[in-house]
Structure 1
Amino acid sequence: MAATSTGTTRGTTRAAYWTLRRRDALAGWLFIAPQLLGVLAFVLVPVGLAIWFSLNDWNIYSGKMTFVGGENYEAAVNDANVVDVLGATLIFSGGVVIFNLALGLGLAVLLNRKIPGGAVFRTLFFSPVVISVVAWTLVWGFLLQDNGAINGLLSLVGVDGPNWLFEGPTAMISVIVTQVIRSVGTNMVLFLAALQGVPRELYEAARIDGANNFTIFWRITIPLISPTLLLTGILTVVGALQAFAQIAVLTEGGPELSTTVLVYYIYQQAFQFNDIGYGSTLSLMLLAFVLILTVMQWQLRRKWVFYEN
């Protein structure tokens, strides 16, 4: 009798431990475990290693690593090229963000009007997104050559085209245009989905009140799609700061440093000049820029992002 009573008590204790709340918590942890492992393996560990490498001078040929403290950070402050690199990064990122968002929104507004052949245009503008970055950039590299197709078309109308990829201003314009044309399809689709979610009744009421198209767009459309504007803004800024293949294939950072953005400069220092410590320092600088811009955009959402609830 005593044995039966003891066994029942133990069984009750074991059953009571796995309460509904604990089972739900375990299921939740199991669901997010792959993401947590991915963040640990591909974010936290690499960032930790970058911080450690930035504090050392690592000779990859001899395998010798010497602790130098803040010397790499001091070198970054005193590097005269960093100013030009940051300037090129600002111009490239600013151009990509402004033209990408403006063109993406404009195309979405146009396609939202259900024009004839809208599906064909949507597919046409989105197709570059699924093409390999390197393949896309190589094709544009041939088109932008001095004797390429673009200058050939210009010569038909009597225009002597420039050497697009070997002159400072046109080189930057070329890499910006190449990046925008390839990535604008993603923002176009996101904006189009947001526009289709705006209630038609609001437009009809505004027109009855005498509002013109610009007022309707600025007072109704923009506020209601502002969450999507925030999302696309963050994605476009981060993508522009991480652009590498376009620069590496088209201009290799030239002429001089006119198209050397920070990502490409990091690659040069770490893998061409084999200065892993200095390259890690610059990569942490890039990480800081991305975090600061993302946090700024996220904080500004309280002032201009409209949420229905």
Structure 2
Amino acid sequence: MKPAISSSRSDALAAWLFLSPAIVLLGIFVLWPMAYLLYLSFTSGSFTRSGLRWTGLANYIRLLSVPDFWQVLQNTAVFSVATVIPSLVIPLGLAVLLDRKLALRDLWRTAFVLPSFISLVAAGLGFRWLFQTDGPINGLLSPLGLEPIPWLGNTTWAMPVLILLSVWKQLGFNLIVFLAGLQTIPASRYEAAELDGANRWQMFWHITLPGLRPTFLFAMVTTAIFTLRSFETVYVVTGGGPLNSTNILVYYIYEQAFSQFDFGYAAAAATILLGVALIFVYLQVRVWDVES
């Protein structure tokens, strides 16, 4: 019995030894920043000689009493939901289509995946040029007799432009994910279903979707996180305007921290963002588990 116990302890020690570099890095770059962020959210002041002062829940009370913060939360919810849904549906449909034997299939795959390699800043600058008042998009509308639309200066159209940019940017990544997921579904299932007289829609609903459950969950979570941290698109394209209509939570945090230098208040907003992200991911996982 003693040799078995000794062997077990040696295995445990070896496991912790191999895991220790990852645990140290996780603690330094993830756990410590999160703990320090939480601490900052209960303070006020700046990183100067005067230092930080403990203020308790004052930043959170102030945060929840500011009307702009509630508008920012609403903008974040609209932006996230309106981005996540098409960012999953469109790549899934394209993946099913491009998984078949088509003419120039590899060329089509490359064309759809290319946007994922473009930086968000470059993509934002391109969309800002496309949708400016005298830009190419309005140039296409003028022959139709339509007046130029101030896309980025209008509270109705600025958010849809950001959503379109985010969906386009996420399309290539999710397409790769779904194409990889489709390769894990055995072809024998489709052959058996075809012999049983199932049509394409029935095979998609009863074979493809169930087979893509883990893939779909991964794509859903990563897309949700992508939308919640979409700082570059807002910064480059709209700057949170017009009239705060495109100001989402991550950009609001940046403004409070590096424009107003209100670090405690910004840390409280960042803590709210972290909580929203965790709740969002948790609900997605729970809903998916229930449906499974």
TM-score between both structures, scaled by the size of structure 2: 0.93
What residue in structure 2 maps to residue 122 of structure 1?
109
The aligned runs of 1:131-170 (5 Å cut-off) are 131-170=118-157
- Structure 2 distance, partners of 1:258, 1:151, is 21
Q: Is the counterpart of residue 182 in structure 1 residue 169 in structure 2?
A: yes
Structure 1 runs not aligned, ≥5 long: 1-15
Distance 1:140 1:63, change over 3 A: farther
Q: Is the 8 A contact 2:64 2:70 kept in 1?
A: no
**Structure 2 CA distance, aligned partners of 1:183 and 1:199?**
27
Question: Does the residue aligned with 1:43 lie in a helix, a strand or coil?
Answer: helix
Equivalent-residue separation in structure 2 for 1:250 and 1:227 (angstroms)? 34
The residue that corresponds to 2:287 in the other structure is 300
Of the three residues 204, 210, 231, the one matched with 2:218 is 231
Identity rate of aligned residues, in percent? 38
Task: Give the equivalent residue in structure 2 for 1:90.
Answer: 77
Deviation at 1:24, TM superposition (A): 3.5
Number of aligned positions between the proteins = 290
Work out the CA distance in 2 between the residues paired with 1:63 and 1:23. 51
Partner of 1:12: none
Tell me if 1:39 matches 2:26: yes
RMSD over aligned CA atoms reads: 2.0
Residue of structure 1 aligned with 2:46, choices 41, 49, 59: 59
Q: Structure 2, unaligned stretches of length 5 or more?
A: none
Q: CA deviation at 1:22?
A: 4.4
* TM-aligned CA deviation for residue 263 of structure 1: 0.6
**CA distance in structure 1 between the aligned counterparts of 2:112 and 2:7, rounded to whole angstroms:** 50
Cα distance, 1:101 vs. partner? 0.2
CA deviation vs aligned residue, 1:11-67 (integer Å, no higher than 9, x gap): xxxxx8x95544443443333223212221121111111111111111345543221
Shift of 1:230: 0.7
Give yes or no for contact 1:223–1:304 (8 Å, CA) kept in 2. no
**Larger CA Rg, structure 1 vs 2:** 1
Aligned AA (1:104): P
Aligned pair 1:263/2:245, yes or no? no
- The answer to whether residue 108 in structure 2 is matched with residue 112 in structure 1 is no
- Partner SS state of residue 156, structure 2: helix
Distance in structure 1 (CA, Å) of the matches to 2:49 and 2:101: 64
- Answer with 60-69 or 268-277: which moved more: 60-69
CA drift of 1:293 comes to 1.6
Q: Does residue 221 in structure 1 map to residue 208 in structure 2?
A: yes
Deviation at 1:94, TM superposition (A): 0.5
Asked if structure 1 preserves the Cα contact closer than 8 Å seen for 2:41 and 2:59, the reply is yes
Residue identity opposite 2:177 in structure 1: L
The answer to which of 18-27 and 193-202 deviates more is 18-27
Q: Within 1, Cα distance between the matches of 2:138 and 2:162?
A: 16
Q: Which whole-Å CA distance do the structure 1 matches of 2:28 and 2:136 have between them? A: 45
